[in-house]
Amino acid sequence: MTVNITEQIQEKAREILSSGQVELIIGYQRASDGVTARPAFIRKAENVAKLIFDQTCTHNLAKYAIEHRGKSMAIVAKACDTFGINVLIQENQIIREKTYVIGVNCPGVVEVSFGQVGDKLQYRCQICQEHAPAVYDYVAGDPVEEKPLGFDPYIKVKVLEALSQEERIAFWEKHFERCIRCYACRNACPQCYCTECVVEQIDPDWVGIPIQVPEKQIFHVIRAFHLAGRCIGCNECERSCPVGIPLSLMNMKFSQDVEDQFGYKPGRDPEVCAPLATYQPDENLGIGG
């Protein structure tokens, strides 16, 4: 029998709010367009009926956990969102004991955008091979059978890698020309949480304020390096971009390199730190002979 994920989430939310175990539920509710979903912040048991879960629930709610850090909260999390939660626990941004995770065995989310709901799974879901939450206190939904992909998940990166250096530079310059430096990609990202982002710092002024291609390039390169080994592939950055820049290509390239070099995938184990965020005083970096 297929379980009703929405009912399961509502029931658990009611229970833990009524008992005082948490003061806030971060989940999904139907958006005002009537078809897509948006984040919901439920503080009273009588409001849990607003919570929903379906294949339009695309947001990575780990982002909002940071804003409510210190509170006892519950968060509805698809499998990939739980990887983001683990990274935040690992980096001491949220407290595990105060964060009740309502994990979801995830059937995948479809393409959704400004009132439009498609029937095609998002690309990240087409290549997903981990549908079960990595950290949870309760799990909603039936387990999803993991099937072999039958194609290379990094095929889009390989097509780009096959181009010459000049062609790759031209590819990214063409896209970065269109970037309006609105920072929606950064703001949607659960792993971008610095109080003052390096690209907005004015003392020292690391990156100039103009929106010429070199400044935009440096923003994207800095962000990609800061996310290397920390990006969990939720693709919220690309989905948030108003001009459709294919940021997932850059994210996937870095993820693939970190996995190849270090055998590391972020967020699977909160005890293991990201290789590029770890420094051992006695490690040999091969610098200085």
Binding of ligand SF4 at residue 209 (CB under 6 A)? no
Min CB(103)–ligand SF4 separation in Å: 10
Min CB(281)–ligand SF4 separation in Å: 29
State whether residue 248 is helix, strand or coil: helix
Min CB(86)–ligand SF4 separation in Å: 12
**Shorter beta-carbon distance to ligand SF4: residue 17 or 65:** 65
Return the residues of window 143-172 that contact ligand SF4 according to CB under 6 A: none
40 forms beta bridges with 27
**Shorter beta-carbon distance to ligand SF4: residue 61 or 237:** 237
Min CB(106)–ligand SF4 separation in Å: 3
Contact (Cβ atoms closer than 8 angstroms) between residue 128 and residue 80: yes
**Shorter beta-carbon distance to ligand SF4: residue 14 or 186:** 186
Binding of ligand SF4 at residue 55 (CB under 6 A)? no
From the list 24-32, 158-166, 185-193, 206-214, the region that binds ligand SF4 by CB under 6 A is 185-193
Return the residues of window 96-125 that contact ligand SF4 according to CB under 6 A: 106, 108-109, 124-125
Residue 28, Cβ density class (10 Å: 0-12 exposed, 13-18 middle, ≥19 buried): buried
Contacts with ligand SF4: how many residues (CB under 6 A)? 35
Q: Which of 280, 233, 272 is nearest to 254 (CA)?
A: 233
| Rounded distance between C-alpha atoms, residue 87 and residue 143, angstroms | 23
Binding of ligand SF4 at residue 78 (CB under 6 A)? yes
| Rounded distance between C-alpha atoms, residue 141 and residue 188, angstroms | 26
Instruction: Identify the helix (H) or strand (E) that includes residue 30.
Output: strand 24-30
| Rounded distance between C-alpha atoms, residue 193 and residue 202, angstroms | 18
Binding of ligand SF4 at residue 235 (CB under 6 A)? yes
Query: Nearest 5°: CA angle at 272, between 256 and 248?
Result: 25
Binding of ligand SF4 at residue 233 (CB under 6 A)? yes
Q: Is the dihedral of CA 41, 47, 53, 54 positive or negative?
A: negative
Give residues in contact with ligand SF4 (CB under 6 A): 78-80, 106, 108-109, 124-125, 128, 131, 179-185, 188-191, 227, 231-237, 240-243, 245, 251
